[in-house]
């Protein structure tokens, strides 16, 4: 069974009143609308379209989109707060919203022409899910080793290749696809294209059967001479590497937000359980060993939260945030793994079965150290910045 937890709202010292109200309203929605569906979505590895429609109605699928295009006109930081709040209940929903906002919409806002913004932003705010297609079988951390090619064809380009591990692949109707138009130029030939689901030569392939965040679809994409009009180039020809790097730097803050939300959810469950569970005649929360473990978990989680918030604030202020984004992602993902593991331990045998919620959060936490840049890649980024 999935249990409703007591409110353990994180400290508010880093949030303005409107930000706190926004985050709490998203969490209240998640507690009411998402929590009853969590186990079913995990078992069936699918998000109901009715729930996705409610996310659009809530406004969290177009947070940064200007109001003139039907969006919320809010900040990147608000997007991170939404991801945190949703992930506290189900990280699968958190990453759906994260990719939509911090990768797809963010890239279009920064790199899209006026025509692209006019055509796609209203749809992304209203009912259209986006996906971000960079990874391939032979290019994960080495993203620029991609083999997907785009060649000029008539009034546009024809894309041929295969993408893997694409989040939102099953639900998305719009894909940012990276392909190389000039392999001889190396990464300077990489270009970003906007591909609609119905374009000729494009199909969504197999959906992965995953360890965690199972409701979130992860799919392969197949391109067989997929025709993309020239006006669907995102940014400049040969500048796709810049689109990819800068967007992923921001996306890592979103993953940090997902991980702190996930960890908070696990800690919520653990706190409630230790107050209810009795051994030797008293709640196990009264044992000092349990108290100290929970105190340490709460301390690490607060440190991770502050790192995520700091990186988000820097981004919105137009300040450098590359190092802080890498730091918040690696640290929050490690904290999430530790906190969820502790929650499983505190639940004892109940923590190891699917009738209780913490084993799912434990499975969900692992991906944080893998996608949108592995932990080793984050360490390399941090080291390069620190060592000059």
Instruction: Say if CB 170 and CB 219 are below 8 A apart.
Output: yes
Residue 87's closest CA among 75, 99, 100, 97?
Answer: 97
For residue 89, CA distances in Å to 2, 32, 40, 194 come to 10, 10, 13, 32
Residue 75's closest CA among 316, 317, 318?
Answer: 316
Contacts of 188 (CB under 8 A, 6+ apart): 182, 238, 241
Q: What is the pLDDT of residue 12?
A: 43
Query: Of 8-17, 38-47, 141-150, where does mean pLDDT reach its minimum?
Result: 8-17
CATH class of 131-239: mainly beta
Query: Of 129-143, 225-239, 326-340, where does mean pLDDT reach its minimum?
Result: 129-143
Q: Does residue 1 surpass a pLDDT of 50?
A: no
Q: Does residue 190 surpass a pLDDT of 70?
A: yes
The separation between CA 276 and the C-alpha centre of its own chain, rounded to angstroms, equals 33
User: Which pLDDT band, with edges at 50, 70 and 90, does 215 fall under?
Assistant: very high
Q: How many whole angstroms separate alpha carbon 318 and alpha carbon 320? A: 7
Helix axes 240-276, 76-87, angle to 10 degrees: 40
Report CA Rg, the chain.
21
Residue 92's closest CA among 373, 315, 360, 344?
Answer: 360
Q: What is the pLDDT of residue 141?
A: 82
What's the mean pLDDT in 199-210? 98
Q: What is the pLDDT of residue 143?
A: 77
In the numeric block, the tokens 């007591």 are attached to 6
What is the tens place of the pLDDT at every residue in 335-350? 999 999 999 999 999 9
- Residue % of the chain over a pLDDT of 90: 94
Q: What is the pLDDT of residue 265?
A: 98
Instruction: Say if CB 64 and CB 72 are below 8 A apart.
Output: yes
- Number of Cβ within a 10 Å radius of residue 137: 12
Q: Does residue 2 surpass a pLDDT of 50?
A: no
DSSP labels for 241-308?
Answer: HHHHHHHHHHHHHHHHHHHHHHHHHHHHHHHHHHHH-EETTEEGGGSHHHHHHHHHHHHHHHHHHHHH
Give, as one character, the DSSP assignment of residue 105: I
Q: What is the pLDDT of residue 8?
A: 53
- Number of Cβ within a 10 Å radius of residue 290: 19
Q: Does residue 5 surpass a pLDDT of 70?
A: no
Catalytic residue IDs: 372
CATH number of 242-387: 1.20.140.10
What is the tens place of the pLDDT at every residue in 92-123? 999 999 999 999 999 999 999 999 999 999 99
113 backbone dihedrals φ, ψ, rounded to 5°: -70, 170
> Would you state the structure tokens that stand for residue 345, as one six-digit string?
């331990």
For the chain, what are the domain ranges? 17-129, 131-239, 242-387
Residue 103's closest CA among 15, 41, 177, 160?
Answer: 177
Q: What is the pLDDT of residue 314?
A: 97
What is the tens place of the pLDDT at every residue in 164-189? 999 999 999 999 999 999 999 999 99
Q: How many whole angstroms separate alpha carbon 284 and alpha carbon 289? A: 9
Average pLDDT, the chain: 95
For residue 79, CA distances in Å to 43, 152, 228 come to 28, 37, 30
For residue 102, CA distances in Å to 62, 78, 250, 258 come to 10, 11, 6, 12
Report which secondary-structure segment, H or E, holds 97. helix 91-98
- Number of Cβ within a 10 Å radius of residue 292: 10
Give, as one character, the DSSP assignment of residue 144: G
Q: What is the pLDDT of residue 358?
A: 98
Please indicate whether the domains covering 17-129 and 242-387 agree at the CATH topology level.
Answer: no
Give, as one character, the DSSP assignment of residue 356: S
What is the tens place of the pLDDT at every residue in 231-290? 999 999 999 999 999 999 999 999 999 999 999 999 999 999 999 999 999 999 999 999
CATH number for 17-129: choose from 3.30.70.1380, 2.60.40.10, 1.10.540.10, 3.40.640.10.
Answer: 1.10.540.10
Contacts of 364 (CB under 8 A, 6+ apart): 91, 92, 212, 213, 262, 340
Q: What is the pLDDT of residue 9?
A: 52
Residue 59's closest CA among 127, 9, 116?
Answer: 127
């Amino acid at each position: 069974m999935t249990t409703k937890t007591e409110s353990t709202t994180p400290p508010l010292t880093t949030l303005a009143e409107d930000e706190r109200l926004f985050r709490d309203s998203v969490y209240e929605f998640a507690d009411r609308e998402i929590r009853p569906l969590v186990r079913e979505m995990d078992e069936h590895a699918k998000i109901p379209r009715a729930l996705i429609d409610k996310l659009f109605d809530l406004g969290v699928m177009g947070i940064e989109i200007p109001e003139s295009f039907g969006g919320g006109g809010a900040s990147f930081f608000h997007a991170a707060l939404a991801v945190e709040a949703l992930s506290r209940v189900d990280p699968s929903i958190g990453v759906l919203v994260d990719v939509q906002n911090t990768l797809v919409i963010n890239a279009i806002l920064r790199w899209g022409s006026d025509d692209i913004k006019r055509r796609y932003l209203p749809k992304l705010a209203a009912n259209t899910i986006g996906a971000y297609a960079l990874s391939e079988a032979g290019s994960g951390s080495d993203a620029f080793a991609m083999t997907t090619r785009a060649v000029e064809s008539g009034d546009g380009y024809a894309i041929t290749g295969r993408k893997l591990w694409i989040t939102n692949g099953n639900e998305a109707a719009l894909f940012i696809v990276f392909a190389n138009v000039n392999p001889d130029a190396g990464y300077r030939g990489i270009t970003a294209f906007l591909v609609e689901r119905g374009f000729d030569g494009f199909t969504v392939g197999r959906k992965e059967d995953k360890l965690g965040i199972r409701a979130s679809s992860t799919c392969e994409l197949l391109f067989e001479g997929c025709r993309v009009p020239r006006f669907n180039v995102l940014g400049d020809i040969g500048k796709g590497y810049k689109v990819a790097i800068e967007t992923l730097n921001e996306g890592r803050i979103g993953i940090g937000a997902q991980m702190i939300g996930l960890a908070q959810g696990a800690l919520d469950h653990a706190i409630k359980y230790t107050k209810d569970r009795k051994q030797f005649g008293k709640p196990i929360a009264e044992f000092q060993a349990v108290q100290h473990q929970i105190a340490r978990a709460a301390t690490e989680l607060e440190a991770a939260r502050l790192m995520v918030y700091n990186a988000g604030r820097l981004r919105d202020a137009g300040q450098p945030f590359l190092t802080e984004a890498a730091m918040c992602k690696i640290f929050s993902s490690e904290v999430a793994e530790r906190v969820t593991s502790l929650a499983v331990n505190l639940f004892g045998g109940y923590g190891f079965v699917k009738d209780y919620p913490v084993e799912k959060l434990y499975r969900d936490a692992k991906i944080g150290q893998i996608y949108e840049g592995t932990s080793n890649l984050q360490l390399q980024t941090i080291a390069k910045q620190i060592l000059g």
